[in-house]
Amino acid sequence: MATMSKPQRTKPTSRSQRLVLLCIVIFACLLLLSSVISTGKLGLPYQQTLIDYFVRSPRGKREHTLSEKYLYWGNRIDCPGKNCETCAGLGHQESSLRCALEEALFLNRTFVMPSGMCINPIHNKKGILNRSDNKTTEEGWVGSSCAMDSLYDIDLISEKIPVILDDSKTWHFVLSTSMKLEERGIAHVYGVSRHRLTQSHYSNLLIINRTASPLAWFVECKDRGNRSAVMLPYSFLPNMAAVNLRDAAEKIKAELGDYDAIHVRRGDKLKTRKDRFGVERIQFPHLDRATRPEFILHRIEKLIPPGRTLYIGSNERTPGFFSPLAVRYKLAYSSNFSEILDPIIKNNYQLFMVERLVMMGARTYFKTFREYETDLTLTDDPKKNKNWEIPVYTMDERKEAAS
C-alpha cells in the first residue's frame, strides 16, 4: 500500500510582512479618499506625479501632503507700483502680509509667500543702530530688499498657517503641475469675495491666484476695520521672528534685566504740508510734541519710577535727542548691544524685529500709537488719520487736564 505523502504546509506570513501589507492598503485608501474629497472624482491626472515628488523629496521640518491647495498673492508685498524705492515700512507691509495669511487661513490653503521683502532706503539708514550722543550717519545698509526667511521663521508660521516660499522647489513643482491641469489647475480671482471662493468650483482648484491691486494687498480685506473679523492679532508676525533674531532679543533682555521700554515713532510721521493759505499742517497734530523728551517724561513718570532702566526703540537719529531722559532713568539703546547685533543685523528690518521683541518683554511698555484699548501710549493721536491739522507744539493745560 502506497504511503501518502503529507501535504506541505505553507510558511506563515511574518508579522512584519503583514504590517507592511496593511500600511500599503491604508495608504492606498487614504490616497483614494483624498482624491475624492478634493475633486469629487476617483482620480487626478497629476496624482502619480505628486506621489513621486513628495515621496522622493527630502523631508523638511514640515511635510506637505497630496491634498494641499495653494493661495498665491503676487511676488512682492504691497509696494506702490511694485517699486522698492517707494515702498512703505515694515509695519505697513506686515499689515498686508497678515491680511494674506488670514485669507489662506480662511480658505484652508497653503500660502505662497514672497521670498523677499522690499526695503525703502529711507527706512534703512545705519544711524538707527549706530546711535551715539555726538554723531550720526546717513550711511545706508546695502541692498533694497531682504530674504523673507531672514526676517521670519517660516516653519513657526506654518504651525498656524501652512506656508511655502515662492522660490522653493515645492512651489515650482506645484506651479508646473497646475499648468498641465489647465482650467482645473489655477484661477485668477482678483475681486472675487472670499466667501464665494469657498462655495463654488474655486474650492477644488490646485491654485488660487489672488494677486490684488498694484497699490495694496489689503484692499481685498474688506473687514480690516472690524476687529472681530481679524483672525490674526497684530502681535502674530512680530512673534514669528527668525530664530537668530529671537535669540538676539533674548540675550538683550537678559542683559537688561528688569526694565521698561518706550517706542518713539518720529521721522516720516512728522511730515508736514502747506494748505492753500500757506499754513503748515500734519496728520498727527500732537506727535512732534508728545515724542520730545520733556513731554515723554511728563507722560510716563506716573507709571515708570525714577532709576529704572529705560530701553528706547526709535527711528529718531538726532544725536543726543533722548539725553534729557537720563535725569530720571538709565537709558539703553540697541547700539549698546553691538556685540550681540553686529554679527546678525544686515538691515533695519531685522533690527526692528529684534527691538520689538525686546520692547514687548518690558515690565511697562509705552507705544507711540494705540493699537489696542489697553495699550499705554505717548500720544492720543489716532494711528490712522486722513485729516491734515495744524500741529500743536506747546502744552495746552486745559486740554491735558481734561484728558
Q: What is the pLDDT of residues 250-273, one digit of tens each?
A: 999 999 999 999 999 987 787 888
pTM of the model: 0.76
Contact 349/359 with Cβ under 8 angstroms?
Answer: no
Q: Is the pLDDT of residue 399 over 60?
A: no
Q: Is the pLDDT of residue 232 over 90?
A: no
- Identify the pLDDT of residue 4: 42
- Identify the pLDDT of residue 48: 39
- Identify the pLDDT of residue 218: 53
Q: Is the pLDDT of residue 293 over 80?
A: yes
Higher pLDDT, 342 or 396: 342
- Identify the pLDDT of residue 372: 83
Low-confidence winner among 25-39, 237-251, 296-310 (lowest mean pLDDT): 25-39
Contact 329/335 with Cβ under 8 angstroms?
Answer: no
Q: Is the pLDDT of residue 217 over 70?
A: no
The mean of the pLDDT values for the chain is 78
Partnered with residue 245 across adjacent β-strands are none
Model confidence pLDDT, tens digit, residues 79-126: 654 567 767 788 878 888 888 898 899 889 999 999 988 888 777 777
pLDDT above 70 covers a percentage of the chain that reads: 71
Q: What are phi and psi of 356, to 5 degrees?
A: -60, -45
Q: Is the pLDDT of residue 324 over 50?
A: yes
Encode 231-257: b = buried (16+ Cβ within 10 Å), e = exposed: eeeeebbbebbbeebbebbebbbeebe
- Identify the pLDDT of residue 396: 59
Query: Going from the N-terminus, what domains does the chain have, and what CATH number goes with each?
Result: 65-129+141-237 (3.40.50), 241-364 (no CATH)
- Identify the pLDDT of residue 401: 39
Residue 39 CB partners (closer than 8 Å, separation 6+): 204
- Identify the pLDDT of residue 130: 56
The predicted model gives 202-209 an average pLDDT of 89
- Letter for the amino acid at 106? F
- Identify the pLDDT of residue 74: 77
- Identify the pLDDT of residue 264: 95
- Identify the pLDDT of residue 64: 57
- Identify the pLDDT of residue 14: 57
Higher pLDDT, 366 or 384: 366
The predicted model gives 303-317 an average pLDDT of 94
Model confidence pLDDT, tens digit, residues 344-358: 999 989 999 999 999
Confidence of residue 33 (pLDDT cuts 50, 70, 90): very low
- Identify the pLDDT of residue 358: 98
Q: 374 is written with which cell numbers? A: 489697553
Tell me the pairing of strands 272-274 and 280-282: antiparallel
Q: Is the pLDDT of residue 27 over 70?
A: no
d(CA 214, CA 235): 26
DSSP summary character for residue 328? T
Q: Is the pLDDT of residue 238 over 80?
A: yes
Rank 7-16, 94-103, 167-176 by mean pLDDT and report only the highest.
167-176
Higher pLDDT, 219 or 341: 341
Strand ranges, E, within 290-355: 309-314, 330-332
- Identify the pLDDT of residue 12: 47
- Identify the pLDDT of residue 299: 95
Residue with cell 474650492: 203
Q: Is the pLDDT of residue 152 over 80?
A: yes
Higher pLDDT, 24 or 395: 395
Q: 296 is written with which cell numbers? A: 515723554
